Amino acid sequence: MARLGIFGWGVVAPNSSNIDSFARNLSSGESWLTAFDGFGPSTFLVGNPEFDFNDYRNWIDQRFPPSKFPQLTQKMGCTTLYAVGAFIQALEQNPGIEDTLKDLGPEAQVLIGSGVGDLPTQYNISVELHDAQRRWNRFWASPEQNADREAYEKADETEREKLSGEWNIPPDPRPLPVDSFEREATYTNWDEFWMQRSESLRVYLAEFEAIESMAIEGDIDAGKLSLIRKKRGSLRRLQMKWGSPEAPWLSVSPNLIWNIVNTPASQISMLGGLTGATYAPVAACSSFGVALKVALQTINSGEAKAIVVGMSDPAPHPLLVGAFYRAHVAAANGAPSLPLTNMRGTHISGGSVVWIVGDYDYMAAQGYKPLGLEILGVGVTSDARHIITPSKEGPLNAIRIAMDNADVSGHRFGTWDLHATATPGDYQEVNTLREVFPNSLVVTARKGVFGHGMAASGGWELTAQYLGLANGKLDPTPLTADTINPAIEEAPYEYVFDKARKAPPGLAGKLSMGIGGVNACVISRLWDEPPAD
């Protein structure tokens, strides 16, 4: 079995633009959450990532043509840019590792995922399409472009009733109050109906089809450019002839497909020159642990010597904030909600975390020093029960598998970091720990600090755990002794409150529990911890 070490890490998080500021901010023990204005004035708090992609321009300009940086900013959404920034940070931890990763060829892989993908890009393009479709429908539904509509408008009341029955015409929105939402919704159905009956639109589409049927002639490379120019000119003349709005399919930005879930991984592959397997592991809130599990297996199989693993989540967006609230797992009272306390719910956050993990023996032979802790084992399971409420057996099995994988027993552990989302699941999670660790354990819960990144949280929490333990401490949290929920306080554990405390001896564990019932447990130790049980 190979020993797995971390040889680079980078973070984009609320209140933390990089790994150095992340480490400094952890010592404050304060919440990094701020007011959410995505709905206008509201009582939600979120974790807005502190990030400026210009911080990485020099690195990119040194390696690529001047057009590269503008291309990235114009085409890539926030999930990709956050991940790229964190990756560049990770390369800086061990100078020279960038060339080593390139030289490894297929033996250097990239596993970067996202909890929900690039929601802002998806949302903005969807809104643009919706507006374009409305304009399109209204144009072709107008009497000037639609003989059936013209006939309907000219008909008397008796004839209109007859046509309504024959054609199954939806309700006319015009009698409704001008400023009513019902009128707008009714207009959508009305315009779509008449658009479908427009003979003028059919003529337009026939002419459009003829243009799109043009084929490349002669040399393929030269003919392709010639064809594109010819089509553009013909389409421009077609629009001028009809005076129609832009077709809805022309309103959809290709940035939608440039920002699918595997884009952060693929961009890091291209920017870093990494030619090994590149893809996006996705397991909701357990994604980072799952990526580590895959990396551990891949390195142990001999397929890779080093793997870039990470997760990236978009900045908090109304779609996700609202969805979490409606699912009864988000707090909305304007104050930070702390795990293990009154269970008001979590807060949505965005950002990224990227690690470069590798075969310790190989990487050390290249002169690279490991960071943080040694990763001993990872266990992954599914509850196979409920989409959001955790079971007891699923997380428990993940812990036991990770311990078996690491070949360690419960008495060796000194500290544990919880998934803890400030919901009733916190109580179940603590009870699960009691099945394995009946005696004292120093427990941390950090979503009251930086909130809940859908996929990045597990990586942030592990990074925080490793940074602290490597320096002989556990950084403070916003918790205080008098706020712990009485039912949770009954467990025989010590909790890290608003003051840092000395790190206890022993192993470290971390559990993540994802939507859909996916669980990931990571077990680690200091590099000088005795290897045998």
- Domain residue extents for the chain: 4-118+259-525, 122-250
The whole-angstrom separation of Cα 290 and Cα 115 is 12
pTM of the predicted protein model:
0.95
CATH number of 4-118+259-525: 3.40.47.10
- In this structure, the chain runs to a length of 533
Spatial distance between the Cα atoms of 188 and 315, rounded to a whole number of angstroms: 31
User: Whole-angstrom Cα distance, residue 133 to residue 115?
Assistant: 30
What residue has token string 């390696």?
A: 63
Interatomic CA distance for residues 264 and 270, integer angstroms? 10
Spatial distance between the Cα atoms of 196 and 183, rounded to a whole number of angstroms: 20
Distance CA 303, CA 308 (A): 14
Ranges of residues in the chain whose predicted pLDDT is under 50? 532-533
Give residue 222's pLDDT.
Answer: 80
Sheet (strand 413-417) strand order: 278-279, 108-113, 306-313, 351-359, 4-12, 371-382, 518-525, 507-514, 413-417, 442-444, 494-495
Selection from 402, 408, 395 nearest residue 379 by Cα: 402
Confidence at residue 530, expressed as pLDDT on a 0 to 100 scale = 60
> 123: phi > 0 → left, psi -120 to 50 → alpha, else beta; which?
alpha
Helix ranges, 249-376 (H): 255-258, 263-272, 287-301, 318-326, 360-365
Whole-number Å distance between alpha carbons of 520 and 419: 10
Backbone region of residue 192 per phi and psi (left: phi > 0; alpha: psi in -120 to 50; beta: other values): alpha
**Sign of the torsion angle spanned by Cα atoms 77, 79, 84, 89:** positive
Could you give the CA distance from residue 450 to residue 18 in angstroms, rounded to a whole number? 14
Q: How far is 339 from 375, CA to CA, in rounded Å? A: 26
Residue 43, φ and ψ in degrees, nearest 5: -110, 20
The reported pLDDT for the residue numbered 532 is: 46
